[in-house]
Amino acid sequence: MSDMTGSKALTLEEHCRGRGLDFLRFDYLGHGQSSGNFADGTIGRWAEDAVAVLDDLTDGPQILVGSSMGGWIMLLAALARREQIAGLIGIAAAPDFTEDLMWAEFTQEQRDQVLSTGRFEQPSEYGDDPYIITRALIEDGREHLLLRAPLPIRCPVRLLQGMRDDDVPWKTALRLTDALESEDVEVTLVKKGDHRLSEPEDLARLMRVLDELVAEVG
């Protein structure tokens, strides 16, 4: 439900401008200012969007920052363009959420609705519009699961995770850490942090992590 006009994206842009760093933010198909219908999107399609942005609008090594679903997309983009990625920052990163946090938690009635009608509308705490969960999203998500096997990403990775996150369990960050082949992975658990991690102290922490990662990767 977030887009490139959210507080994290705008704060990152302002911070990077102040440091003389290039910065690029964008919306996936059906998100924010991008055209298209959100319900037509899938994890694979949105990952293709991210790779296209990398290919067409960036030059040189990149640090990718992904929040929630964007954390999954970030990982898929890093796998597709391994030589181009200098580092990753995940904020409540949610790889495999369609299977582990949606399908696995659905009632049989909800599953039947998805299979028979092709969609299920789940109320959202972040706005009036519900989440549109389609059969295509669930089935495509299964083609892009990352936590079932070693994840061949070897660049530095920083994961920020709230322990009061009602959407992505904080143990997801530990599962991701275990799957990553990189030995340079750091997890920051924020005891009072929620899913958004967009309070002033959360944004300040994100900027510190970015500065440290930029210094490390040069």
In Å, how far from its chain's centre is CA 24?
A: 15
> For helices 135-142 and 108-117, what crossing angle results, to 10°?
100
Catalytic residues: 68, 165, 195
Task: Determine the Cα–Cα distance for residues 112 and 172; give it in Å rounded to an integer.
Answer: 27
Between the two ends of the chain, the Cα-to-Cα distance in Å is: 33
Partner residues linked to 195 by β-bridges: none
SS3 content of the chain, % helix, strand, coil (to 5): 45, 15, 40
Task: Determine the Cα–Cα distance for residues 84 and 78; give it in Å rounded to an integer.
Answer: 8
